[in-house]
Structure 1
């Protein structure tokens, strides 16, 4: 039988925290999706997107702030949040993990004639649309979802389990949440949610930063939504979605997984070298202190 300590939350506290936040997030997103849709209609509108985005962030931040006090006491830093200056660098780094391989792959596939990319608006309008969409993605997906899943759920699970299992646990919760709110209702969407959440969990484990997860999430969502048809400034003609699957999912997900594996392996190697060096130094110092040594 495991004995709870001051640093290790009880199973009851962990379960209560997960159930409360999961229920609150699921109920609120259902309200944002169905409630706003009942007023604006089922078709996409910019106004509905703005209401949902603002509503998501304004609900989640106070929710997490409250849950940091009970039933498990946590700090914002426990969620993987650092200062703004370092956080900004980590945000960009996380975005680059997805954007660099994804956009390079897209350019190669379009150049090879596998898909057609057409510009439908002036550069200034495209830039403005991308900035607006980025703000909406941050407010509706990247900030609230990362705070809940790779932030709170990961932290509370990591208080009882090793980081790998905490990453798996939050991925399962994210996939179940996506199914409940109607965002993952087909097999391919469920698989995508599971892969996406697992990769973000790995990013959280290796980097220790929630900002990097937000960056990766933002880059993926902005690009995917920009070419989904609701934004008409640019059009990617990819009828069977092969190019989208390869450029937006397969290549950037695989390359990021490899990069994270390499970083983790390098850190382990550095730790071994540092430990060996420390042991050798200690041995030399001990020998020098022996009687008769000068």
Structure 2
């Protein structure tokens, strides 16, 4: 008897371009609305109250946005976006964080040993630990989880159903860069355009590659979480007193080095063949009910 092959499913959906436009525009509206509200409540300067408002408001609106799009527009279960459960989810978050932390730690150690920068901690160790834990919670809620769920989850999955995964990585990175750069231009003016668009595109390409190699959104969440927590802790944190003598050298030895090496680390952590070229249409029965 011949072995049956998985049946690909043909489901009537809105055009892909429309789905991508709606998801990206909806994401932009959520972040703009929440940040405008928090600014009206707490002022322009970042504070703990404003940070919490941003985090809670964003996750409360962004996650339902994805749920609605999956169920009523795509008719696809959320699990199809790469959100696995159990031990695999925890492992993928940890491995994803390591893809950034390992090369960043090596790069920073080199920078410190050669005297390219100095770091001085003016707060106590207890205050440092508290700041790290607080930032992990706030970054996960405000940035890492909702942004990854939308761009490396929803957007990426829609793209891979019709195009090669490597193309999906590039396109989702362009959309993420458009989203992030627009937010910064609105709040800071056109002077930040080149810097932010380059940063967001590069970060999204690497996060997308981690997502592709691992097959898990949790992995890109871990990558995003590690990146943002470290950068906010050392360069932008309002919760602990750390002095970095050369912010450019710090960024180069941590973020830039990590961006260049993360996919290599990911290939070591998640072993096995990786599909870079073949589209991955939905299997029969993978629609939401």
TM range (shorter): 0.7 to 0.9
Which 5+ residue runs of structure 2 have no aligned equivalent? 1-6, 275-289
The range that moved more, 104-113 or 201-210, is 104-113
Identify if the C-alpha distance between structure 1 residues 96 and 45 changes in structure 2 by more than 3 Å, giving closer, same or farther. Answer: same
- How far residue 234 of structure 1 moved from its aligned partner, in angstroms, is 4.2
- How far residue 121 of structure 1 moved from its aligned partner, in angstroms, is 1.7
1:253 to 255, 259, 263: 259
Aligned to 2:235: 228
Distance 1:172 1:24 in 2: 16
The secondary structure found in structure 1 opposite 2:184 is coil
CA contact (8 A) 2:99 2:263 kept: no
Which 5+ residue runs of structure 1 have no aligned equivalent? 269-294
TM-score (normalizing by structure 2) = 0.84
2:212 to 205, 229, 247: 205
Aligned to 1:19: 21
Aligned to 2:99: 97
The range that moved more, 229-238 or 166-175, is 229-238
Larger Rg over CA atoms: 1
Distance 2:47 2:220 in 1: 27
Distance 2:15 2:208 in 1: 22
The secondary structure found in structure 1 opposite 2:120 is strand
Aligned to 1:282: none
- How far residue 228 of structure 1 moved from its aligned partner, in angstroms, is 1.8
Identify if the C-alpha distance between structure 1 residues 16 and 159 changes in structure 2 by more than 3 Å, giving closer, same or farther. Answer: same
CA RMSD of aligned residues (A): 2.3
Distance 1:141 1:84 in 2: 22
CA contact (8 A) 1:14 1:72 kept: no
Aligned to 2:273: 267
Identify if the C-alpha distance between structure 1 residues 88 and 196 changes in structure 2 by more than 3 Å, giving closer, same or farther. Answer: same
Aligned to 1:189: 196
- How far residue 249 of structure 1 moved from its aligned partner, in angstroms, is 2.0
The range that moved more, 224-233 or 203-212, is 224-233
The range that moved more, 41-50 or 245-254, is 245-254
* Corresponding position: 1:179 with 2:185: no
Q: Deviations over 1:245-274 (max 9, x none)?
A: 222222111111334567899637xxxxxx
Q: Deviations over 1:6-40 (max 9, x none)?
A: 73566843233222222211111111222321332
Aligned to 2:145: 143
Larger RCO: 1 or 2 (CA < 8 Å, sep 6+): 2
1:116 to 104, 109, 118: 118
Aligned residues: 263
